[in-house]
Structure 1
Amino acid sequence: MVAPSLIPRKPGDRVKINHRDAVSLARLLRAGELTAVWVPDERQEAMRDLVRARSAAVETLRATDSR
């Protein structure tokens, strides 16, 4: 999987044409210019959500203590 933000683009190349995009992606893949991204599974995403919630709670406690 490739993140759209990591696909190299030329300035002004904003028009989306499926065939042209597919050919462009194939060329970039063949040239090794695409960076793969990792997509977490449900369990890993749930753990991330838990860690984010804990971090937010800790930050709220710190903000409350400093008032």
Structure 2
Amino acid sequence: MTTLYIRDVDEGVAEELKLRAAAEGMSLSAYAAAQLAVIASRPTNAQVVARLRRRDRRDGPTAQQIVSAVREGRE
């Protein structure tokens, strides 16, 4: 395991993290590590965009169909 040191954390942020950790019955360190694992498991915006660009959209709706559906929903 790697040890991370985080400097210059705002006092309000640190206090909120301590409260959330306590509410979960965890130490601040364990809570922060769990939250970092959640963040790291999510794709970045660039990864999502790249994945969407690779999709085959030939069978999807046309731009005009989308516009029509939006207009119908507003009526």
Q: Which TM bucket (shorter chain)?
A: 0.3 to 0.5
Q: Say which one has the larger Rg.
A: 2
The TM-score normalised by the length of structure 2 is 0.31
Instruction: Identify the structure with the greater helix proportion.
Output: 2
The TM-score normalised by the length of structure 1 is 0.34
